């Protein structure tokens, strides 16, 4: 079975049939921009904060953070106003796992609890 690819800065990046990277190490900000464009997501400061949270957590723990971990981090940094599921879904209308993790260059999340 052939995988799909993204063309980014004259590089070919392997993705699965849903658009997730096969290798998180292939990620860069330029790759994130291409994926975000395909998802219809504007990479503003708030979106970048979430994307970088996912990347940093992955680099440290070798796993994707659950949605609740993101909410805890947002609450700690910004207070209750930005630490809501509604706030996150306004940035990623198809879901944290489906869009934020994809833009952050993760493999397809195997644990559906990411969005609970």
- Position 116 scores a pLDDT of 47
Specify the pTM. Answer: 0.90
Q: What is the pLDDT of residue 8?
A: 95
Q: Would you list the domain boundaries of the chain?
A: 4-115
Greatest Cα pair distance, the chain, in angstroms, is 46
Per-residue model confidence as pLDDT tens digits over 17-65: 899 999 999 999 999 999 999 999 999 999 999 999 999 999 999 999 9
Average pLDDT, the chain: 91
Supply φ then ψ for residue 4, to 5 degrees: -85, 170
User: What CATH code would you report for 4-115?
Assistant: 1.10.10.370
Q: In Å, what is the CA distance from 55 to each residue of 29, 52, 80, 99, 106? A: 11, 5, 23, 13, 8
111 band by pLDDT with thresholds 50, 70 and 90: low
pLDDT at 115: 52
């Amino acid at each position: 079975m052939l995988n799909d690819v993204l063309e980014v800065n004259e590089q070919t990046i392997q993705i699965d049939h849903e658009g997730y990277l096969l290798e998180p190490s292939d990620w860069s900000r330029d790759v994130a921009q291409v994926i975000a464009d395909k998802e219809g997501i504007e990479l503003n400061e708030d979106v970048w904060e979430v994307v970088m949270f996912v990347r940093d957590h992955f680099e440290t723990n070798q796993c994707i953070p659950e949605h609740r971990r993101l909410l805890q981090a947002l609450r700690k940094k910004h207070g209750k106003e930005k630490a809501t599921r509604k706030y996150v879904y306004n940035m990623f209308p198809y879901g944290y796992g489906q869009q934020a993790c994809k833009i952050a260059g993760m493999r397809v999340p195997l644990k559906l609890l990411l969005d609970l």
